[in-house]
């Protein structure tokens, strides 16, 4: 009957609304509540350290060479045993990533011989000017662990001659 039809549709709509009142909400109350990211999510980069606090980055700039967006700038300096930042001869005295250029492709991570640069799960990247989109080494370097020493370290002569450690092949 044409008169009943709109009422049936109205009732159906109200029933849908009523039913959804008892369902679990799918919204997250960001920023108080943060949604967990997928295991292979590529967020902001972190420059990693070894367990003893030495920096993994050896300033080789392979990441910068691999970057299709020209987003990375690396400048290397010499390590000494009195002032050591990383194993081997050199460390990154300047390391910058321009997040206005980065496309989060992960090529830098793949190119790194020491697994120093890793795209982790931080997605909270917002800037108010162009300069603050360039993250310097101090912002990218991970904090020193509780058992570790900060860099630069004073190390015994001849102990850290090898820049690239023995590593297993990546699993994925």
Binding region for ligand SF4 (CB under 6 A): 57-63, 66-67, 69, 71-72, 74, 92, 97, 102-108, 111-112, 114, 116-117
Based on CB atoms, which residue is closest to ligand SF4, 19 or 40?
40
Residues 116, 172: Cα–Cα separation, whole Å: 17
- Measured between alpha carbons, how far is 106 from 170 in angstroms, rounded to an integer? 14
What's the closest the beta carbon of residue 83 comes to ligand SF4, in angstroms?
A: 18
Strands (DSSP E) along the chain, which ranges? 45-47, 72-78, 90-98, 117-119, 134-135
d(CA 78, CA 90): 4
For ligand SF4, give the closer residue by CB, 20 or 161.
Answer: 161
Report in angstroms how near the CB of residue 61 gets to ligand SF4 at its nearest: 5
Question: What does the block give as tokens for 78?
Answer: 């010499």
Phi, psi of 164 (to 5 degrees): -110, 115
- Cβ-based nearer residue to ligand SF4, 47 or 153: 47
CB of 141 to ligand SF4, least distance (A): 11
CB of residue 80 to ligand SF4, shortest distance in Å: 19
| DSSP H or E stretch at residue 107 | helix 107-111
Which of 54/97 has CB closer to ligand SF4? 97
Contact 53, 82 (CB under 8 A): no
CB of 113 to ligand SF4, least distance (A): 6
- Is residue 71 within 8 A of residue 97, CB to CB? The reply is yes
Query: Which is closer to ligand SF4, CB of 106 or CB of 152?
Result: 106
């Amino acid at each position: 009957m044409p008169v009943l039809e709109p009422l049936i549709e109205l009732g159906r709509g109200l029933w849908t609304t009523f039913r959804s009142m008892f369902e679990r909400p799918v919204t997250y109350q960001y920023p108080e509540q943060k949604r967990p990211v997928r295991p292979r999510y590529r967020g902001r980069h972190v420059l990693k350290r070894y367990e003893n606090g030495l920096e993994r980055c050896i300033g080789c700039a392979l990441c910068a060479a691999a970057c299709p967006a020209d987003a990375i700038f690396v400048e290397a300096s010499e390590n000494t045993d009195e002032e050591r930042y990383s194993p081997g001869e050199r460390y990154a005295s300047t390391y910058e990533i321009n997040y206005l250029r980065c496309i989060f492709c992960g090529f830098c991570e793949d190119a790194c011989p020491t697994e120093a640069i890793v795209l982790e799960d931080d997605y909270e990247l917002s800037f108010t000017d162009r300069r603050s989109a360039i993250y310097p080494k101090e912002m990218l370097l991970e904090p020193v662990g509780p058992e570790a020493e900060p860099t630069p370290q004073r190390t015994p002569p001849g102990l850290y001659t090898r820049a690239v450690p023995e590593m297993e092949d990546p699993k994925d």
